[in-house]
Amino acid sequence: MQYIFILISIILFLVIIVAIVNIFRKLSKLQKNNIISDLESEVNDLVLELNQTADRNINILEDKIKTLASILQDADKRIKILGSESGKIKSESVTYNQLGQISGKRDSSDIPLKKETTIQTQKQVVELNKKDRIIELHNNGFSCPIIASRVGLTVGEVELIISLVEGR
């Protein structure tokens, strides 16, 4: 009978050891599952943050594209204005040359006062053309330094003409 108790004790001992091993295996699996779920949570958080950053960057790029489009439209308008101004300058130079040819064909026996008044009148016409051109360029959005370089006047003269015309 003693052997039976010893045998039952050994069997119980083995059963307890097997149960303890099974419990440790299940605990390790649970810990692995917890680690995996923690990693999944962190990865999801990173993906969410990356999506938010990408959305913000896309919005910034779209704003920059809109700004560039408006700048391009403005540049196109200015190029058209430049083309029309170039055509006007060419026609003005042709007219000026024709006036020079007409005045060159006149006899030198004309009264000297008429020549002086004609030169003064031509200067006044050129100055009026400059004034009109300055105002037109100003209304089209060109800055005073650019207008001055195109018209051949100083920046101060251009600013003065603009301020006189606008009544400042």
Strands (E), 33-110: none
Contact between residue 161 and residue 134 where contact means Cβ atoms under 8 Å apart: yes
**Burial class of 158 by CB neighbour count within 10 A (0 to 12, 13 to 18, 19+):** buried
Segment 139-160 shows an average pLDDT of 90
DSSP character at residue 167: T
Comparing C-alpha atoms, which of 69, 45, 49, 67 is closest to residue 57?
49
pLDDT digits (tens, 9 = 90+) for 13-24: 999 999 998 888
pLDDT of residue 45: 93
pLDDT category of residue 34 using cuts at 50, 70 and 90: confident
Sequence letter at residue 150: R
Q: What is the pLDDT of residues 90-110, one digit of tens each?
A: 777 777 777 767 655 544 444
Give the pLDDT score at 57: 93
Which one-letter amino acid corresponds to residue 65? I
Residue pair 157/148 in contact (Cβ under 8 Å)? The answer is yes
Residue, of 89 and 13, whose pLDDT is higher: 13
Predicted confidence (pLDDT) at residue 2 exceeds the cutoff of 80: no
User: How does pLDDT run across 106-143, given as a tens digit for each residue?
Assistant: 444 444 444 555 565 555 555 667 888 898 899 999 99
| Tokens 């990356």, located at residue | 50
d(CA 1, CA 7): 10
Distance CA 51, CA 42 (A): 14
Torsion angle defined by CA atoms of residues 61, 64, 65 and 66, in that order, rounded to the nearest 10 degrees:
130
pLDDT value at residue 127: 60
The percentage of residues in the chain with a pLDDT greater than 70, rounded to a whole number, is 82
Residue 123 or 46, more confident: 46
pLDDT at 39: 86
Which tokens hold the place of 16?
Answer: 């307890």
**Residue 148: count of CB within 10 angstroms of its CB:** 19
Q: Which of 165, 96, 157, 84 is nearest to 132 (CA)?
A: 165
Whether pTM > 0.75 for this model: the answer is no
What residue ranges do the domains of the chain occupy? 37-105, 111-168
In this prediction, residue 86 has a pLDDT band, given cuts at 50, 70 and 90, of confident
Residue with tokens 């599952």: 33
